[in-house]
Amino acid sequence: MNMFDENHNKIYRMIDGEILFRADQPARHIYLVERGQIKILAAGETRVLHRYMRGDLFGIPEVLTARPWPAMAQVEGPTDVRVFSAAVVLQRIAHMPSAHRDLLQTIMAEAG
């Protein structure tokens, strides 16, 4: 369990160098960068694969397909991250109208 497991839709203030998740950990959260930035690093490397900035949402394909994180996410500078629990998101999806669930299942199949 990590510090995010007990909360849903909560903003965390993070400092430079903090790790959101490591490669091969289960994807249990979706993240929204409220301020600052997150860099995605190749597993076992320092090579930056992508940067997420203010307003970017990430983690949806990994959560919806129940895949582990393929890389590591590290905070760059002072950053605020809104964290959404996968369990709560998946529970809400289960109660959506069938047309919405079908659309999400199609998206998940294409992401897999």
Report yes or no on 5 lying in a domain: no
Nearest C-alpha neighbor of 52 from the set 76, 24, 78: 76
- Confidence band for 41, pLDDT divided at 50, 70 and 90: very high
Instruction: Quote the pLDDT of residue 3.
Output: 47
Average of pLDDT values for 2-15?
Answer: 72
In which domain, by residue range, is 35 found? Answer: 10-111
Residues 61-108 pLDDT 10s: 888 888 899 999 999 999 999 998 887 777 777 777 888 777 877 776
pTM score, two decimals? Answer: 0.77
Does the residue 102 lie in any domain? yes
2 assigned to some structural domain:
no
What sign does the CA torsion over 80, 104, 8, 22 have?
A: negative
N-term to C-term CA, the chain: 25
Query: Alpha-carbon distance 83 to 96, whole Å?
Result: 21
The count of domains in the chain is 1
Would residue 1 count as lying in a domain? no
At 24-35, the pLDDT tens digits run 999 999 899 999
**DSSP H or E segment with residue 91:** helix 86-94
Dist CA 57 CA 34 (whole Å): 9
